[in-house]
Amino acid sequence: MKHFIVQNPFINLSETTWNDSSSDDSLLPLSDLRLAVKDLFHMAELPTSAGNPTWLATHPIPTKTSSSVAALLNNGAIFCGKTITDELAYSLNGQNIHYGTPSNPMTPNRLPGGSSSGSAVAVAADLADIGLGTDTGGSIRVPASYNGLFGLRPTHGVIPSDNMVALAPSFDTVGWLTRDLDALAKTASVLLKNKPPKEFNNILIAKNLIDQVEHVKELNIQLQTWREQGRFPKESSVVIDTKVWKTSETFRTLQGAEIWHEHGKWIKSLEGLDGVFAPDIQSRFEWCKTISEADVAAAKQQRQRFTDWLEHEIEGAVLIIPTTPGLAPLFDAADDELAAYRNQLMDITAIAGLAGLPQLHLPVCTLHGAPCGLSLVSSKGTDLALIEFAKTLME
Span 141-199, pLDDT tens digits: 999 999 999 999 999 999 999 999 999 999 999 999 999 999 999 999 999 986 666 78
CATH superfamily of 202-394: Amidase signature (AS) domain (3.90.1300.10)
Nearest 5°: the CA angle 182, 329, 40 is 55
How many angstroms separate the CA atoms of 369 and 27, rounded?
Answer: 39
Residue 1 — very low, low, confident or very high, per pLDDT cuts 50/70/90? low
Q: Residue 337: is its pLDDT beyond 70?
A: yes
Domain 5-191 fold: Amidase signature (AS) enzymes (3.90.1300)
How many angstroms separate the CA atoms of 60 and 44, rounded?
Answer: 11
Section 52-67 average pLDDT: 98
Q: Where exactly are the structural domains of the chain?
A: 5-191, 202-394
pLDDT in the model for residue 12: 73
How many angstroms separate the CA atoms of 131 and 68, rounded?
Answer: 12
Nearest 5°: the CA angle 127, 131, 134 is 150
Residue 269 — very low, low, confident or very high, per pLDDT cuts 50/70/90? very high
How many angstroms separate the CA atoms of 253 and 301, rounded?
Answer: 12
pLDDT in the model for residue 2: 63
The share of the chain scoring above pLDDT 90, in percent, equals 92
SS3 372: strand
Half-sphere exposure in the Cβ direction for 4 (13 Å, CA): 5
Catalytic residue among 115, 116, 117, 378: 115
Contacts for 231 with CB less than 8 Å, ≥ 6 apart: 392, 393
Flag the least confident range among 22-36, 174-188, 338-352.
22-36
Section 322-350 average pLDDT: 95
pLDDT in the model for residue 384: 95
SS3 199: coil
Residue 102 CB coordination number (10 Å): 33
Overall size of the chain counted in residues? 395
Q: Residue 16: is its pLDDT beyond 60?
A: no
pLDDT in the model for residue 14: 64
pLDDT in the model for residue 344: 96
pLDDT in the model for residue 373: 97
pLDDT in the model for residue 45: 96
Catalytic residue among 49, 68, 116, 139: 139
31 in active site? no
Q: Residue 21: is its pLDDT beyond 60?
A: no
The overall average pLDDT reported for the chain is 95
Q: Higher-confidence residue: 303 or 22? A: 303
115 in active site? yes
pLDDT in the model for residue 19: 55
pTM: 0.96
pLDDT in tens, 104-133: 999 999 999 999 999 999 999 999 999 999
Same fold for the domain at 5-191 and the one at 202-394?
A: yes
Section 198-225 average pLDDT: 96
Section 273-281 average pLDDT: 95
pLDDT in the model for residue 172: 98
> Do 2 and 97 meet the contact criterion of CB atoms below 8 Å apart?
yes
103 in active site? no
